[in-house]
């Protein structure tokens, strides 16, 4: 049985992982991807079960984690809130203690970061953050693998994130800081990333001398960028303010006018689902610079690495 340095750990935030640990996850993900493409067996998790708790709808997270466990020789158990006593008042702590007796790991996709952290405090098995309103570490591991595949390296690149200072932005700040990618964020004044996240990311960046810049001008952020990233303007659960945010973010669409000063060979990333004509023009996301389908596929490979290494 192969053992890994991070076996038994939780993945709640990339801030909690050392640069060499993130590098190892990415390297192992690349190896697993190669083996899967060649049809080589890699049943690291034979006989193991992952419980997946979804309090938010999901396409990529559910399918990629379920397929990941299958390809690793394990089993993924989908747990809807309606299937659990959480919906009837059982505490997170009690649920975590009980599920720890049945499962080998838990993936949670929910609203509050505090809920995932409380789950991890009381669980005796690894807990993986499949998305919260604050962070989305699994997505950013896939992004980093995609950038590494397309550019050949990470350290010294410039990534520009244009849009809401949301969970994707927060985890990009951590992921870039840990891997030596310089990141420029452009968000409207009242929608910038949380200052406490920026401060933690700046502390992380000292190890790799990564640069972190926060702008309100998207053109300034995108200048000379190797990678351009955006996300929906209204995140899941914010549908009631979608029209209001669309007016505020009107000048933040990633289109040809905005990316004219990016590097000639820049790549475009989006975690999906995308709203063409809103945060991104159709001819960008469907154009030659876009690598969003490779990025979506890499959710599978990076999550396989995380599962095999933690469980």
pLDDT of residue 57: 84
Give the residue ranges of DSSP H helices in the chain.
19-37, 60-71, 92-100, 113-122, 137-151, 167-179, 195-205, 218-222, 242-248, 256-259, 282-285, 292-310
The answer to whether the 14-135+297-310 and 139-296 domains have the same CATH topology is yes
CATH of span 139-296? 3.40.50.1370
For residue 17 the two structure tokens come to: 């992982």
The answer to whether 310 and 8 are in contact (CB under 8 A) is: yes
Euclidean distance between CA atoms 274 and 265, whole angstroms: 22
Per-residue confidence at 83, pLDDT binned at 50, 70, 90? confident
What mean pLDDT comes out for the span 249-266?
98
10 Å CB burial of residue 200 (0-12, 13-18, 19+) is: middle
Which residues are CB-neighbours of 231 under 8 A, at least 6 positions away?
163, 164, 166, 168, 169, 270, 271, 279
Contact 105, 78 (CB under 8 A): no
CB 17 within 8 A of CB 139: no
Assess contact for 307 and 105: CB atoms under 8 A.
Answer: yes
What is the pLDDT at residue 4?
84
CATH architecture of the region 14-135+297-310: 3-Layer(aba) Sandwich (3.40)
Q: For residues 230-234, give the mean pLDDT.
A: 93
User: What is the tens place of the pLDDT at every residue in 8-64?
Assistant: 999 999 999 999 999 999 999 999 999 999 999 999 999 999 999 999 888 999 999
CA dist., res. 166 & res. 179, Å (int):
20
Spot the catalytic one: 139, 148, 253, 303: 139
Taking only the tens place, the pLDDT of each residue in 142-191 is: 999 999 999 999 999 999 999 999 999 999 999 999 999 999 999 999 99
Higher pLDDT, 2 or 196: 196
> Active-site residue among 9, 231, 253, 301?
231
To the query of whether residue 109 is one of the catalytic residues in this protein, the response is yes
Catalytic residue of the set 9, 60, 136, 270: 136
Whether residue 85 has pLDDT greater than 90: no
Among all chains, which residue has been given the structure tokens 């591991």?
A: 141
CA–CA dist 288, 175 (Å, integer): 25
- Backbone phi and psi for residue 85, each to the nearest 5 degrees, phi listed first: -75, -5
Catalytic residue among 9, 15, 271, 289: 271
Instruction: Give CA–CA dist 157/179, Å, rounded.
Output: 10
Cα 19 from Cα 23, distance rounded (Å)? 6
271 is catalytic: yes
Lookup result for tokens 């158990």 = 77
Could you read off the pLDDT of 104-152 as tens digits, one per residue?
A: 999 999 999 999 999 999 999 999 999 999 999 999 999 999 999 999 9
In the set 170, 289, 299, 301, the catalytic residue is 299
In tens, the pLDDT along 263-300 reads 999 999 999 999 999 999 999 999 999 999 999 999 99
Selected catalytic residue, list 9, 15, 60, 109: 109
> From CA 92, how far away is CA 42, in angstroms rounded?
34
| Distance separating alpha carbons of residues 308 and 285, to the nearest angstrom | 32
Cα-trace Rg, the chain? 19
To the query of whether residue 299 is one of the catalytic residues in this protein, the response is yes
Per domain, the residue ranges of the chain are 14-135+297-310, 139-296
């Amino acid at each position: 049985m192969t053992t890994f340095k991070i076996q038994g750990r939780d993945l709640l935030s990339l801030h909690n992982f050392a640069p060499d640990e993130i590098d190892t996850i990415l390297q192992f993900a690349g190896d697993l991807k190669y083996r899967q493409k060649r049809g080589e067996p890699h049943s690291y998790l034979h006989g193991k079960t992952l419980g997946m708790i979804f309090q938010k709808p999901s396409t990529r997270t559910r399918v990629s984690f379920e397929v990941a466990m299958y390809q690793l020789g394990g089993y993924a158990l989908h747990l809807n809130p309606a299937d659990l006593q959480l919906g009837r008042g059982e505490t997170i702590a009690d649920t975590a203690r009980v599920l720890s007796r049945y499962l080998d790991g838990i993936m949670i996709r929910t609203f509050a970061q505090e809920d995932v952290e409380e789950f991890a405090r009381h669980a005796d098995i690894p807990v993986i953050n499949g998305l919260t309103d604050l962070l989305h570490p699994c997505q950013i591991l896939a992004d980093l693998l995609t950038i590494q595949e397309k550019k050949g390296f990470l350290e010294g690149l410039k990534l520009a994130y244009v849009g809401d200072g949301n969970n994707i932005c927060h985890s990009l700040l951590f992921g870039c800081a840990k891997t030596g990618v310089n990141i420029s964020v452009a968000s409207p004044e009242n929608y910038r990333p949380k200052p406490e996240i920026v401060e933690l990311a700046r502390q992380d960046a000292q190890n790799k001398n990564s640069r972190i810049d926060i702008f309100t001008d998207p053109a300034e952020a995108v200048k000379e960028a190797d990678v351009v990233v955006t996300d929906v303007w209204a995140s899941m659960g914010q549908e009631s303010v979608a029209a209001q945010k669309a007016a505020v973010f009107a000048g933040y669409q990633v289109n040809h006018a905005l990316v004219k000063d990016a590097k000639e060979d820049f790549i475009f990333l989006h975690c999906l689902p995308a709203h063409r004509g809103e945060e991104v023009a159709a001819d960008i996301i469907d154009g030659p610079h876009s690598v969003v389908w490779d990025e979506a596929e890499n959710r599978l490979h990076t999550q396989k690495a995380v599962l095999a290494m933690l469980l």
